[in-house]
Structure 1
Amino acid sequence: MSRRWDLLAHGDPCADVVVALEEASRFGEKVVGRPLGIHAGGTTANAACAFSRLGGRAAVYGRVGDDAHAALLRQSLQDFGVDMTHLRTEPHSACACVIAMVPPSGDRAIVYLPMPPCEPDLADLAAALRQTRVLYAMPYDLEAFADASRLAHECGAQVAIDLEAAVAPDRDAMLQRIALADIAFFNESGFTAGTGRSPTPEALAALLAESRLQAVVVTLGAAGAVAASREGTALQPAFAQPQVADTTGAGDTFNAAFLLARLEGRGLQDCLRFACAAAGHAVTAVGARSAMPDRAAVERIIGGGQEPPLAESSC
């Protein structure tokens, strides 16, 4: 069946307020910072932008407010070629916001300020899902995600989720969410929080075996990424970059690139290599979307040299 989009990103775009710190901050202490600007962001919206920049067809399903950040968020999605048919404006509301604090190491800490919850329009969501191949979500709200997952499968779409420790802080929360998904992405801390294990190939394969998932993928920061699917397991080192400016959005870029490669029918190792190369490019500028690569840039990285066991870039 022909579909209008390859990826439907489910979630509200965010305004990222980025601050550089002279040293890492700790509770109860004051540190000196400097503003690095306000950028368009949001985990699922970032993935949609990365997916589109790489040549895929992406749309976003969510809300923005009517404050000063709304125009920035809409303009960025338009610039990346993301379809906004199902992005609605919530009157008298502030857009979702992230405060990102970037220490000298480049590894940011974030504070997420979401929009208030609302009753979902399931008929509208179903109409969007009938036009996409994959629903992509970060499922904070389990009840809302359960409805979206059910509709996606009824409409013939796959479901991919991004699970961080803030989303699924324990095994029960993790299992409830992966039971509703086909592909699960974790960062290292999210996998450990959800499973109680380090993300080894064996641990990923064990999680795959006890679930309905088709693939489990874990990003490992500077060490690259690991994945397990029904075809086996794979490890991929990160691609070194001369300078890491900001890791914000690197994981979103990784997930988008992996999904695009998978939809193109690539093998598991190829998907990981393509995704790590895309994420490596994404860390070279400040802002989640500032250095999102196109396909040509990713292919240049892949063809450009050695992949060390431990690299400076972050997936």
Structure 2
Amino acid sequence: MMTSPREFDLLAFGDPVADIMLRADALPPVGGKTLGQSLGIWPGGTTANVACAAARLGLRSALFGRTGDDAYASLLRASLLGHAVDTRWLSSMAQTPSASAIAVLAPTGEKSIIYMPMPAAPVEAHGLAQALAQTRMMYAMPYDFDQFAGLCHQARQAGVRIAIDLEAAVAPDPGQMRRRAALADIVFFNEAGFLAGTGQPPTPDAMREVLALGPGEVVVTLGAEGAVAINHGGHARHVAFPATVRDTTGAGDSFNAAYLCARLAGQALPEALRFACAAASCTVAALGARGGLPDQQRVACVLQHGIRPKETSA
């Protein structure tokens, strides 16, 4: 991996989340009821998961975010520290609940999520400036566009590259997507997010339209079908690695972290996709967003017995 004089390779921006996990055969209808099973409370949150996954893969990782002062706060902080994520910029808000989510797992391992964020608050500018000055890349899930635009301005001034995840809940229409994608260097979508943000499936031509907005790379995960990526040098696709799916929670976060790890290490687009697909196959085989996060050795084992990357020209 290329060395850098900055202390961190990746700064994840966002609040960690307590995942209240349930299992049910089906979601209840409006006004109805269904039987379920409690699976416990697990540390999660998209950006926090990426920070943990990146650290497991050897990146120097930090998180800029908040917890409340409730019972979840110590769980969230302890998990970050347990994954070797630097928490010096993780603040605590008094008399405030931490972010939480209710995740309902279907028998297939697919999940449905209700997200309950922390209340909005101004970003602590001095701490953010310190954090950005010490990192190579920032990763965010930009729900609040105005906050994200300010964050990007500071990141650019600090010479920091910007990677974002655009789910349908973040950018539910083409206008919302375009404004966010135009500010980033690397844009990640899942298939539903790409369809919501563009009105099209992720064909090479549709992905080039997003690329034309300004980012240098566009990556779309396709679940069991693998993933596709495009940059100004070409287009690549990789199928998913075989896996026994227990829980898909955090699989996209693991994929994104692994892709960034590979790209920061100088790997080409096809190899980065292959590496990321291998990492995701480990994550879905365990319960919880972080229960199956792999290290480099585990990904190498998958790759050794896996599928070679498929590459197509632009």
5 Å-filtered alignment, 1:1-315, equals 2-208=5-211, 210-241=212-243, 243-306=244-307
CA distance in 2: counterparts of 1:274 and 1:3, whole angstroms: 25
Q: Secondary structure at the match of 1:297?
A: helix
CA distance in 1: counterparts of 2:192 and 2:28, whole angstroms: 20
CA distance in 1: counterparts of 2:30 and 2:256, whole angstroms: 31
CA distance in 2: counterparts of 1:195 and 1:305, whole angstroms: 32
Q: Secondary structure at the match of 1:296?
A: helix
Please state how far the C-alpha of 1:302 moved relative to its aligned partner. Answer: 1.1
Q: Secondary structure at the match of 1:75?
A: helix
**Structure 1 gap segments, 5+ residues each:** 310-315
> Contact 2:271 / 2:309 at 8 angstroms: preserved in 1?
no
> Contact 1:205 / 1:233 at 8 angstroms: preserved in 2?
no
CA distance in 2: counterparts of 1:25 and 1:106, whole angstroms: 17
Aligned pairs, how many? 307
CA distance in 2: counterparts of 1:24 and 1:239, whole angstroms: 29
CA distance in 1: counterparts of 2:68 and 2:171, whole angstroms: 27
CA distance in 1: counterparts of 2:241 and 2:196, whole angstroms: 26
Please state how far the C-alpha of 1:118 moved relative to its aligned partner. Answer: 0.4
CA distance in 2: counterparts of 1:52 and 1:38, whole angstroms: 22
**Structure 2 gap segments, 5+ residues each:** none
Write the deviation string for residues 244-297 of structure 1: whole angstroms up to 9, x where unpaired: 110000000000000010001100000100000000100011100000000111
Counterpart AA for 1:71: S
Q: CA RMSD in A?
A: 1.4
- Structure 1 runs of 4+ aligned residues shifted over 6 Å read none
Please state how far the C-alpha of 1:25 moved relative to its aligned partner. Answer: 4.0
Q: Assess, with a 3 A threshold, how the Cα gap between structure 1 residues 300 and 87 changes in structure 2: closer, same or farther.
A: same
CA distance in 2: counterparts of 1:213 and 1:306, whole angstroms: 28
Q: Secondary structure at the match of 2:302?
A: helix
Counterpart AA for 1:211: L
CA distance in 1: counterparts of 2:162 and 2:121, whole angstroms: 22
Q: Secondary structure at the match of 1:192?
A: helix
Percent identical residues: 51
Q: Secondary structure at the match of 2:100?
A: strand
Write the deviation string for residues 116-172 of structure 1: whole angstroms up to 9, x where unpaired: 000112222111100000010000000111111110010000000000000000000
CA distance in 2: counterparts of 1:7 and 1:109, whole angstroms: 28
Please state how far the C-alpha of 1:206 moved relative to its aligned partner. Answer: 2.6
> Contact 1:239 / 1:308 at 8 angstroms: preserved in 2?
no
Counterpart AA for 2:107: P
> Contact 1:240 / 1:308 at 8 angstroms: preserved in 2?
no
Write the deviation string for residues 47-69 of structure 1: whole angstroms up to 9, x where unpaired: 00000001111000000011000
Please state how far the C-alpha of 1:230 moved relative to its aligned partner. Answer: 1.5
> Contact 1:238 / 1:307 at 8 angstroms: preserved in 2?
no
Q: TM-score, normalised by structure 2?
A: 0.95
